[in-house]
Amino acid sequence: MNNFNSFNLKNERNLTMLVDFYELTMANGYLDSNVGDKIAYFDMFFRRVPDGGGYCVMAGVQQLIEYLSSLKFTEDDIKYLERKNLFSSKFIQYLKDFKFECDVWAVPEGNPVFPNEPLVMVKGPVIQAQFIETMVLLTVNHQTLIATKANRICKAANGRPVMEFGSRRAQGYDGAIYGARAAMIGGCSATACTIAEQMFDVPAVGTMAHSWIQLFDTEYDSFKAWAESYPNNCTLLVDTYNVLKSGIPNAIKVFDEFLKPRGIRPKGVRIDSGDITYLTKKVRVMLDDAGYEDCSIVISNSLDEHIISQVLSNGAKINAFGVGERLITAKSEPVFGGVYKLVAVEKDGEIIPKIKISENEEKITNPAFKKIYRLFDKTTDKAIADIITLRTETIDESKPLEIFNPIHTWKKKKVTNFYAKELLVPIFEKGKVVYDSPSVSEIQQFSKEEVDKLWEEVLRLKNPHTYYIDLSKDLWNLKQSLLNKYSAMYEN
Amino acid sequence: MNNFNSFNLKNERNLTMLVDFYELTMANGYLDSNVGDKIAYFDMFFRRVPDGGGYCVMAGVQQLIEYLSSLKFTEDDIKYLERKNLFSSKFIQYLKDFKFECDVWAVPEGNPVFPNEPLVMVKGPVIQAQFIETMVLLTVNHQTLIATKANRICKAANGRPVMEFGSRRAQGYDGAIYGARAAMIGGCSATACTIAEQMFDVPAVGTMAHSWIQLFDTEYDSFKAWAESYPNNCTLLVDTYNVLKSGIPNAIKVFDEFLKPRGIRPKGVRIDSGDITYLTKKVRVMLDDAGYEDCSIVISNSLDEHIISQVLSNGAKINAFGVGERLITAKSEPVFGGVYKLVAVEKDGEIIPKIKISENEEKITNPAFKKIYRLFDKTTDKAIADIITLRTETIDESKPLEIFNPIHTWKKKKVTNFYAKELLVPIFEKGKVVYDSPSVSEIQQFSKEEVDKLWEEVLRLKNPHTYYIDLSKDLWNLKQSLLNKYSAMYEN
């Protein structure tokens, strides 16, 4: 199932030093203060779904595994750190001997995920568990952002294929490569990013740019040349000069002259500019009248979920979408605000929960070493709620379970006829990988199934119903007691 | 001056296959149609300055050089392409024997650049000049976007250092790494991205996270531990519990007890949340009263150019800024819309200009093989205008030059007492690098000097004066004649 292959290896980089510098100053400081081997627990979570959506789509776990598996400080890294004149020789030696020892849990890729629940949990010596913060966040923030955006766009396309076309406008090379991966997880049917097919075994597609057409003396010549090279893959870009007066008539002429005699059906026409609704309605009629009812109309002009919804509701005749910059950068909201917070520390063998206070209530963290259960209705298989519990708790499926809103605690609900699934799975145990990543197409399929278990009200693009993310009674009580303790400390 | 070094090599990847798949289908098609060696000319340019600014800051040329220098199709790439069953054996052989042969020009990094002028120009066999499109765009779009955003933020900070803190929210690993590079070009004083210091010799900085403070029993203990580990680099994060009641009193106590007796001055305090204006005014007084007038106040809470302008105009007491997600993703406008267009083709030794028509007037391209001159006033050294000319033209500095608006042609201006500088420099000649990239710090310094040559009205963050980007008379006439020709072809 694991799709590590020669292309991954080709591109394998040592990204150990892709860390915020403070991870290094803290690591050295922990060692200096003799607390480096204190066992700490960190949660990675986010606080808000981008674009006002109802859920996010988890992504990035495989790259996180690749990073953590290949953590090592090279001679160059060591030399560089020594030159900074900030670090003790004990710390430098520690890095030379570095061996990753943490336990890591993650929500498997493709799962719908929600605010304030841990997507990744890390337990280990604080010097290590802290160090990996930057890359945990960078990896999961980026891919979850793009998978979520892609999922929104695919939902708007309402069953029509969406192709990811954004490489040229991505934020850096990995923005394109892992962005394409995440877009596939979110539901795209293909990508234009060739290297993504090599690395992730997802279909790469593409035909021609306007420059192909311009290079020839006439549009007709350029279409003819294409049909001769690619009779079985004949999608023509028809908007270089004038879609209705030139592009479509020339396309039909070429289909008639070069494909029809050989019994080959054309694949499609692509329109990259202009009034989509108007043009596609006209183009559909022209193609149908010429006997090409099966010729697809592909649109690729600064699209996003809102434009797609609008043109479809206006009756545009579209078979597939190519979506570029607004998907690959999640343009409408290009930041996924995942954070990585200390939630507990071991002291004399006991796990001491920690909480991060803030005047901004929504920034207060959920303390302690935890679990997430997703409750499903046994009859409908629909997801009812996620319950965050202490690690030591288990949910008894045989009894009714009372869940309640952690802020408005009078909002209660008794859940019956349910089964509970634990969301976080171990991916590292004592520094060793214990998780075999599915392929991207398997993740895509899994994601579709899991997203389909959410009620339609949660799936809505705008104003979705807020899915329940509740705390168990024990966790809620623990959190209140810590809040009260701190409040007493700083009251006027 | 070239800063290629072992860290670049460590991270060297073969990104040849990071192309939109249509670059490959077109390349194969060109060869099939016997036009692969036709000499084509492409321009990379953008149409609009993000965020309503007056200019952009060019960046990414060094990475473009690295990519073009290392273009090659590996055995894996060849096998992958053969498996697609789309490409001729002639094309596969072409890729096996691939040797880059194009001429490439670019505007050197750090230059202020403007809409509709070519930032990169490529001349070569169309099969190659087309193929490199994706990476020319991806590289220059990303870094120019971030350098431009950084420049805006640094301008708002009005001389105060701005540190780039965004890695964890970047769009992928390269988004963090090359984003840090671009941020430095745009004017940042340092970055938190450690690997960027290794790769680009720019200062990496950082101190502690909230988790450092939480790991210890008390805030005081955590500050004390820090001061003992880093007496000479003592910047304390003071907002974990309560800035005014806990953070600052504890910081001053630790400064007094552990630094003062050793004659060491503290470096600073960092505030990452809360009301910046209110808190910094109070904190400044508390530090001053304690005798720490030289202790810096560093702010790092979801900042951008607008928030920085506002808090400074409200009298906030801030010495330095750490800017994260809104810089590293250019959050307010995360896409730099550079495009790559065919502008000419050689036929029987003659250069035939090409134009891309669009119903959207601003999308019409400037045809032909060109140059850009920037005109400077000899007395003030301020930039007056950029003039795009045909490649064959030269500007005579000894005579007055009449320039005119290419749309509103009655807007004319006679320029005297000027000198003209050509902006595009050769970076590849017949496939060989002919340009030695300056270091990032040299580019930063150069950029500062060149941006300072723009009038203050162009530099404004909001509603800047539009800098003149004019066409020479010959280029303007050529463009009109092509437009008239196409217009006649499709008139009703």
3-class state of residue A153 by DSSP: helix
Neighbours of B161 (CB within 10 A): 17
B126 in reach of chain A (CB within 8 A): yes
- B-chain CB neighbours of A359 within 8 Å are 273-274
Return the structure tokens found at A375: 């409750």
Domains and CATH numbers, chain A: 6-146+334-489 (3.20.140.10), 154-328 (3.20.20.70)
Report the alpha-carbon distance of residue B81 to residue A163 in Å, rounded.
Answer: 20
- Residues in chain A with CB shorter than 8 Å from the CB of B178 are 172
What proportion of chain A, given as a percentage, has pLDDT over 90?
Answer: 91
pLDDT of A1 above 70: no
Residue B245, chain A, CB below 8 Å: the answer is yes
pLDDT tens digit sequence for A187-214: 999 999 999 999 999 999 999 999 999 9
Please give the backbone phi and psi of residue A236, each rounded to the nearest 5 degrees, phi first.
Answer: -110, 140
Q: What is the CA radius of gyration of chain A?
A: 26
Q: What is the pLDDT of residue A301?
A: 83
The yes-or-no verdict on residue A452 having pLDDT over 70 is yes
Between CA B424 and CA B442 the distance in angstroms is: 18
Question: B395 to chain A nearest CA, in Å?
Answer: 31
Average pLDDT, integer, range B335-346 = 97
Average pLDDT for A458-486? 95
Q: Which residue of A has its CA nearest to B231?
A: A86
DSSP for residue B204:
B
Strands (E), B378-467: 383-390, 401-404, 412-415, 418-422, 425-429, 432-433
Q: Are A329 and B335 in contact (CB under 8 A)?
A: yes
| CB neighbour list of residue A146: distance below 8 Å, 6 or more residues apart | A59, A178, A179, A182, A183, A186, A327, A328, A330, B171
Q: What is the mean pLDDT of chain B?
A: 95
Compute how many other C-beta atoms are within 10 angstroms of the C-beta atom of residue A333: 20
Classify the complex by whether its ipTM is higher than 0.90, answering yes or no: yes
- Given a contact cutoff of 8 angstroms between Cβ atoms, the answer to whether A461 and A27 are in contact is no
Give the pLDDT mean for A422-443. 98
β-bridge partners, B120: B44, B106
Residues 6+ apart with CB under 8 A from B324: B165, B166, B168, B169, B300, B302, B303
Are B245 and B220 in contact by the 8 Å Cβ rule? The answer is no
In a 3-state reduction of DSSP, which class is residue B347? strand
Q: What is the pLDDT of residues A291-349, one digit of tens each?
A: 999 999 999 988 999 999 999 999 999 999 999 999 999 999 999 999 999 999 999 99
* Distance in angstroms (rounded) separating the CA atoms of residues A184 and A180: 6
Q: What is the pLDDT of residues B230-248, one digit of tens each?
A: 999 999 999 999 999 999 9
* Cβ contact B13–A13 (<8 Å): yes
CA atoms of B136 and B27, how far apart (whole Å): 16
DSSP for B2-67, written as a single string:
----HHHHHT----TT-SBHHHHHHHHHHHHTT-TTSEEEEEEE-SS-GGG-S-EE---HHHHHHH
Q: What is the DSSP letter of A244?
A: I
Tell whether B215 lies on the interface with A, counting CB pairs under 8 A. yes
What does the pLDDT read at residue A491? Answer: 66
Query: What pLDDT, on the 0 to 100 scale, is given for residue A175?
Result: 98
C-alpha–C-alpha distance, residues A115 and A37, integer Å? 31
Q: Please say whether the beta carbons of B29 and A230 come within 8 A.
A: yes
Q: Does A19 touch chain B if contact means CB atoms closer than 8 Å?
A: yes
Chain A residues close to B341, C-beta within 8 Å: 210-211
Percent of chain B, pLDDT > 90?
91
> Does B376 contact chain A (CB < 8 Å)?
no
Return the C-alpha torsion angle A357, A362, A368, A371, nearest 10: -170
Q: For residue A250, what are the contacts with CB-CB under 8 A and spacing of at least 6?
A: A219, A220, A223, A238
CA distance A109 to chain B (A): 17
Let me know: does B111 contact B144? Beta carbons within 8 Å.
Answer: no
| Contact between chains at A331 and B331 (C-beta distance less than 8 A) | no
Query: What is d(CA B193, CA B173) in angstroms, rounded to the nearest whole number?
Result: 11
**Model confidence pLDDT, tens digit, residues B5-64:** 444 444 568 899 999 999 999 999 999 999 999 999 999 999 999 999 999 999 999 999
